[in-house]
Amino acid sequence: MTSARDLMTPGAECVGEKETLVEAARKMRDLDVGALPICGEDQRLKGVLTDRDIVVKCIADGGEPGSATAGQFGEGKPVTIGADDSVEEALQTMSKHQVRRLPVIDGHDLVGMLAQADIARHLNKSATGDLVQDISVDA
């Protein structure tokens, strides 16, 4: 059985919940990623911040990215996948929650990120198309 751990990008870096969106954007740029897990001072996962969140939920609404914090965007309980969960479980979770990226946890520790693209590289074309469609359908 292929697990999330087998396909994930290991060593995901968090943005602190008190870091500004400017700091988060710089970290995204430096790491060449479009999303960062948001971690609290307790090192627990609080959510995920995307480059789109910064633009659409802050800048487009007239917010100030130099003072807005990543923690302001960690709404609700984060959607995650266990490191040893199957790829099938990851597919179901992504489809159900319509997310393209999942933080991968082992216990309470963040161990990586699993992206739609990571899974798509290991699926046949039909299954990849189904995943993209399921994630992209309007709720």
Torsions phi, psi for 8 (to 5 deg)? -70, 165
Boundaries of domain holding 33: 4-136
What is the total count of domains within the chain? Answer: 1
Instruction: List the pLDDT tens digit at each of the 139 positions of the chain.
Output: 889 999 999 988 999 999 999 999 999 999 999 999 999 888 789 999 999 999 999 999 999 999 999 999 876 688 999 999 998 899 899 989 988 899 999 988 899 999 988 888 887 666 666 666 666 665 4
Query: What distance in Å separates the CA atoms of residue 60 and residue 6, rounded to the nearest whole number?
Result: 38
CATH number at residue 90: 3.10.580.10
Query: What distance in Å separates the CA atoms of residue 81 and residue 62, rounded to the nearest whole number?
Result: 34
